[in-house]
């Protein structure tokens, strides 16, 4: 990666004197910002912008560290061969027209991939905007030379962006509005070789980067990405494109149909301690917040003091904070006494701290009421952070950003500022805040969101080297009959076979018996006890409810015989009937597992039973994982009221369900032929849980 971030010489293949071309923009940006050797490559010119131009890269007499290519896609393979002949170790292809375009483009991109595999030369792109370095001031990109070089400023945030143009227009917007500076901005495009994990690994070791934000539409190797994030000491924020779920067309089980690409990615990111953003500016706001204030210690409770000029804005802040899981701090008596010293005698001290009456009372004096109130709140042991509301361009308000920064640093507590007022003065204040390390926001809701992100702790899971496995190494011993099914079965197994395998792994299953003759119904029903459930079992049938193959509340032997006959008629006399004890529990859950193409084996938990397709509340965890991680995943379900006991029901024993999840993960790791597992429902009553219905889907080959 050194040749991309720290080159001493750069060749521009496709450089041109035509000012409206991307090849000119790349060259001009290098001339303006890069202090190393620059070599334009174009056989039609001897000089460009006063710099000697060479016909090919092999004609350059000196060594070349990095080649930036901006030529027609069809010419790129030949240019790559010339780079190999020259001994270039890093190539950045900013041209488009590859896999994103058409079949011909896909073929050209495959040729690049083959070149990388054959030569070991690293390739960045294609179809990207390259790299901008705010610390060194480098711009290796075809972004407008009249804009970015003149607003690029250093900062603690680095970005990795899969899209090209968004990394140009968006960055210029952020920089020109004084929101934050950047360490590195990396547009990686189609990721034929260099991918998000490669760049992330580099940036997490970069001393100029305090937080990394990524916009990604896909993961080249999801498991590697998760491992990198899990072991990082720096916060990582991801904006995932393509969150909407279209459904899995080839899904067999409920689990697979509930997965979608985003649900699995979201679970994996949370498991790795990654923060998620929902839009581009929120991504940057989260990053600049986490870069300035690392996540709060585990004992921080999110108790916020609000220092405001308005009772109304204080009330709205309190509403927003509650929605974000924050609380208004209970000010200590010592703090109240300090504030009384600057408040009018008639004014009670409370949080939110409305200081406008104090400002009016001391108008015309040198007292900085904002700084005095802020200092009192920050020094209160009952306060974890302060949200400050203030003006720009108002004569009665002293906006001392340097003092706010000093107070925040001296107490180690975050100060976030909601700023409004005169447009020009607010813009100047925003830039001043950026330079002195104060977080200013033009929207109150965003300020509260960023406060909240400081007190979220998705990264509480242990790092990889400290994670303790739940099982000893090697596959678990299971009965020969179950092993035979796992080794020889293909496609969806029937319910009885699926549950027999689960039971062999220690997952409790409902009491049941297989009936093939209606005359067997009476004795078995009487022995099992009522009420009963009758289910039709036939090879290839998974979703029995939709086909009318399940009948509940059977309370008599003759009703069992009648049910047998009705279900067999629907199956045209083929198949058999499962007679089960009908269970009643407090909660119905769905558990399952799939093999995701980006993240590999993943285990899911969600609300189950007939509501599984209606309540979109599922959480995925990539395997293998331990019980602590499983309990953490259960805690990410939105419907915690159901889990914790609702309207008289018993709370779910999370450790029992966590054990089920760990077992499913182990099954997926040890038996690669398992493609999907679906257990729906798992009926839970207090500290007991039973798998009532299940499907295991086996592939016809080993899948890693």
Residue 353: Cβ-neighbour burial (10 angstroms; 0-12, 13-18, 19+): buried
Asked whether residue 476 is assigned to any structural domain, the reply reads no
Query: Can you give the CATH number for the domain in which 263 is found?
Result: 3.40.50.261
Q: What percent of the chain has pLDDT over 70?
A: 92
Mean pLDDT, range 99-117, rounded to an integer = 94
Helix/strand/coil (H/E/C) assignment for every residue in 627-661? HHHHHHHHCCCCCHHHHCCCCCCCCCCHHHHHHHH
505 pLDDT above the threshold of 90: yes
Mean pLDDT, range 222-239, rounded to an integer = 94
- pLDDT for 464 equals 45
Asked whether residue 502 is assigned to any structural domain, the reply reads no
Together in a domain, 167 and 236: yes
Together in a domain, 448 and 322: yes
Instruction: Count how many domains the chain has.
Output: 5
Asked whether residue 704 is assigned to any structural domain, the reply reads no
Q: How confident is the model at residue 615 (pLDDT cuts 50, 70, 90)?
A: confident
Query: Can you give the CATH number for the domain in which 60 is found?
Result: 3.40.50.720
- Average per-residue pLDDT for the chain: 89
Last residue of a domain, one of 441, 456, 471: 456
Together in a domain, 556 and 591: no
Together in a domain, 203 and 79: no
Check: pTM over 0.85? Answer yes or no.
yes
Alpha helices in 150-238 (DSSP H): 166-176, 196-204, 222-230
Together in a domain, 363 and 248: no
Last residue of a domain, one of 65, 96, 126: 126
- pLDDT for 475 equals 52
Together in a domain, 35 and 86: yes
Q: How confident is the model at residue 465 (pLDDT cuts 50, 70, 90)?
A: very low
Last residue of a domain, one of 436, 456, 476: 456
Dihedral-angle region of residue 698 (phi above 0 means left; psi in -120 to 50 means alpha; beta otherwise): beta
466 pLDDT above the threshold of 50: no
Together in a domain, 226 and 336: no
Residue positions counted in the chain: 704
- pLDDT for 347 equals 93
| Residue range(s) defining the domain that contains residue 37 | 1-126
Query: Can you give the CATH number for the domain in which 537 is found?
Result: 3.30.1490.20
Together in a domain, 135 and 260: yes
CA distances from 574 to 83, 134, 540 (A): 67, 71, 12
Together in a domain, 7 and 135: no
- pLDDT for 260 equals 55
- pLDDT for 246 equals 53
Measured CA angle at 247 (ends 244, 249), to 5 deg:
145
Together in a domain, 533 and 553: yes
- pLDDT for 470 equals 52
Asked whether residue 168 is assigned to any structural domain, the reply reads yes
Asked whether residue 270 is assigned to any structural domain, the reply reads yes
Together in a domain, 88 and 178: no
Query: Can you give the CATH number for the domain in which 611 is found?
Result: 3.30.470.20
**pLDDT tens-digit map of 650-683:** 888 999 999 999 999 999 999 999 999 999 999 9
460 pLDDT above the threshold of 50: no
188 pLDDT above the threshold of 60: yes
Asked whether residue 538 is assigned to any structural domain, the reply reads yes
**pLDDT tens-digit map of 29-60:** 999 999 999 999 999 999 999 999 999 999 99
DSSP 464: G
DSSP 54: B
Together in a domain, 98 and 208: no
- Cβ 295 vs Cβ 459: under 8 Å: yes
Distance CA 245, CA 242 (A): 8
417 pLDDT above the threshold of 60: yes
């Amino acid at each position: 990666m050194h040749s991309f971030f720290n080159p001493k010489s750069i060749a521009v293949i496709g450089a041109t004197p035509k000012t409206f071309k991307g090849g000119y923009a790349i060259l001009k940006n290098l001339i303006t910002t890069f202090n190393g050797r620059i070599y334009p490559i174009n056989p039609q010119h001897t000089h460009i912008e006063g710099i000697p131009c060479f016909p090919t890269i092999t004609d350059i007499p000196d060594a070349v560290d990095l080649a930036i290519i901006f030529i027609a896609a069809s010419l790129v393979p030949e240019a790559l061969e010339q780079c190999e002949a020259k001994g270039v170790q890093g190539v950045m292809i900013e041209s488009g027209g590859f896999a994103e375009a058409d079949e011909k483009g896909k073929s050209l991109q495959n040729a690049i991939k083959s070149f990388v595999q054959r030569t070991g030369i690293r390739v960045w792109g294609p179809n990207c905007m390259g790299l901008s370095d705010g610390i060194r001031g480098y711009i290796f990109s075809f972004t407008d030379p009249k804009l970015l070089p003149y607003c690029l400023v250093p900062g603690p945030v680095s970005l990795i962006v899969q899209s090209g143009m968004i990394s140009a227009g968006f960055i210029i917007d952020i920089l020109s509005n004084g929101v934050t500076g950047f360490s590195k901005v990396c547009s990686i495009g189609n990721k034929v070789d260099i991918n998000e994990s490669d760049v992330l690994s580099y940036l997490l070791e970069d001393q100029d980067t305090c937080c990394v934000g990524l916009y990604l539409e896909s993961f080249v190797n999801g498991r590697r990405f998760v491992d990198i994030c899990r072991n990082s000491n720096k916060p990582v924020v991801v904006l995932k494109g393509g969150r909407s779920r279209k459904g899995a067309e080839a899904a067999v089980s409920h689990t697979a149909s509930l997965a979608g690409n985003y649900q699995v990615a979201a679970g994996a990111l949370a498991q790795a301690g990654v923060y998620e953003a929902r839009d581009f500016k929120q991504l940057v706001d989260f990053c600049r917040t986490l870069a300035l204030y690392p996540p709060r210690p585990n004992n921080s409770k999110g108790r916020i003091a609000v220092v405001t000029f308005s009772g109304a804005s204080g009330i709205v802040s309190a509403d927003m904070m509650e929605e974000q899981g924050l609380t208004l701090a209970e000010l200590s008596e010592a703090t109240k006494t300090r504030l009384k010293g600057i408040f009018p005698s008639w004014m009670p001290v409370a949080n939110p701290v409305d200081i406008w009456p104090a400002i009016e009372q001391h108008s015309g004096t040198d007292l900085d009421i904002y700084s005095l109130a802020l200092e009192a709140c920050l020094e209160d042991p009952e306060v974890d952070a302060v949200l400050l509301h203030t003006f720009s361009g108002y004569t009665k308000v002293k906006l001392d950003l340097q003092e706010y920064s000093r107070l925040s640093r001296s107490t180690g507590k975050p100060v976030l500022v909601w700023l409004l007022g005169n447009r020009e003065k607010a813009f100047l204040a925003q830039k001043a805040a950026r330079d002195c390390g104060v977080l200013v926001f033009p929207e109150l809701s965003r300020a509260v969101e960023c406060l909240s992100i400081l007190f979220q702790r998705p990264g509480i899971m242990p790092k990889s080297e400290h994670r303790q496995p739940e099982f000893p190494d090697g596959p678990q011993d299971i009965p020969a009959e179950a092993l035979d099914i796992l080794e020889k079965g293909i496609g969806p197994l029937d319910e009885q076979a699926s549950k027999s395998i689960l039971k062999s792994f220690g997952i409790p299953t409902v009491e049941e018996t297989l009936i093939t003759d209606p005359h067997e119904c009476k004795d078995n029903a009487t022995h099992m006890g009522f009420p009963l459930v009758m289910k039709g079992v036939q090879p290839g049938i998974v979703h029995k409810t939709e086909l009318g193959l399940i009948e509940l509340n059977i309370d008599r032997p003759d009703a069992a015989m009648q049910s047998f006959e009705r279900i067999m008629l629907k199956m045209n006399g083929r198949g058999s009937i499962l007679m089960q004890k009908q269970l009643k529990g407090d909660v119905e859950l769905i558990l399952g597992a799939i093999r995701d193409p980006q993240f590999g084996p993943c285990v899911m938990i969600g609300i189950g039973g007939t509501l599984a397709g209606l309540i979109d509340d599922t959480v995925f965890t990539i395997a293998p994982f331990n019980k602590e991680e499983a309990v953490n995943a259960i805690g990410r379900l939105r419907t915690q009221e159901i889990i914790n006991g609702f309207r008289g029901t018993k709370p779910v024993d999370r450790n029992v369900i966590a054990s089920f999840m760990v077992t499913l993960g182990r099954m997926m790791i040890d038996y690669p032929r398992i493609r999907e597992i679906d257990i729906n429902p798992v009926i839970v009553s207090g500290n007991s849980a039973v798998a009532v219905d299940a499907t295991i889907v086996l592939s016809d080959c080993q899948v890693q």
